[in-house]
Amino acid sequence: MKRIFTFLLVMAAVAVNAQSIKLFYGETPMNNNDTVFVPVDGHSDQTDAFFGYQNLTGSALEFRVKKEVIFHGDEADFSFCIGECYTGNLSMVLNLDANEVVSSTDGMGLHTIYMGPAEPALVKYTFFRTDNESDAVSFYIGYSTGTSVRESDVMKVLRAYPNPAVSSVNIDFVAPEHNAFLVIKNLTGKEVYRTAVSNVGRKQISVSSFSPGVYLYGIEADGRMMCTKKLLVK
């Protein structure tokens, strides 16, 4: 009886966390919260990316698309089209038939648009059901300027929040494509966290094992710290 009860709990959890919509970058399937890197060179007026999606259920559903600009340059502008084009952050209600697939080249595929100078930016897009907003799938577009990342870009983008942090912290970053790391040290210089990073993105880091106090976090490239900022852990 105990095994049956445990099995039902597991199945219930799977049902709650199941995603009704699958996303594709071109023809490549994406996982929830994947990051797609799109280069910007400053020579084009507009930088485009295209995405497809699929209804994984056996019944029709209604959904909307939400845009969230995490960080951007001073003159950057973001919009998206999915059937219609939007300069705001939320699409109208859209429909998907049972098991319907919309390709990235279809007129109803998601078309994202970046207009502005060659500066790093991070934008999040979320597809969610209108009858159950927790049934959602998201991805990030990291607009990358390539390997020539300036220290001024790192300083501008690097941000930790919440700060002070209690159990976890999100850190936004921009970094060179190769030999770059996000590093956290305490005030004695002892390293407490290190992970390889590249381009543009966000890392969520657990700080529950950190001792309360002040830490320094930053981007290390080719063995040299490009930028450091303070993080307070309570």
Looking at residue 151, its pLDDT comes to 87
3 pLDDT above the threshold of 80: no
Distance CA 172, CA 49 (A): 22
Looking at residue 13, its pLDDT comes to 39
Distance CA 69, CA 73 (A): 11
pLDDT digits (tens, 9 = 90+) for 91-108: 999 999 999 999 999 889
Q: Using 50, 70 and 90 to split pLDDT, how confident is the model at 114? A: very high
pTM (whole model) above 0.85: no
Looking at residue 17, its pLDDT comes to 52
Q: Using 50, 70 and 90 to split pLDDT, how confident is the model at 6? A: very low
Nearest to 197 by CA among 223, 173, 215: 173
For 178, residues 6+ apart whose C-beta sits below 8 A from its C-beta are: 147, 198
C-alpha dihedral sign at 26, 28, 29, 31: negative
Looking at residue 112, its pLDDT comes to 97
Distance CA 135, CA 196 (A): 31
pLDDT digits (tens, 9 = 90+) for 127-174: 999 999 999 999 999 998 765 688 888 998 999 999 999 999 999 999
In Å, what is the CA distance from 15 to each residue of 3, 20, 164? 18, 10, 35
Contact assessment for residue 96 and residue 164, using Cβ atoms and an 8 Å cutoff: no
The mean pLDDT of 79-101, rounded to a whole number, is 96
Tokens of 124: 């999040």
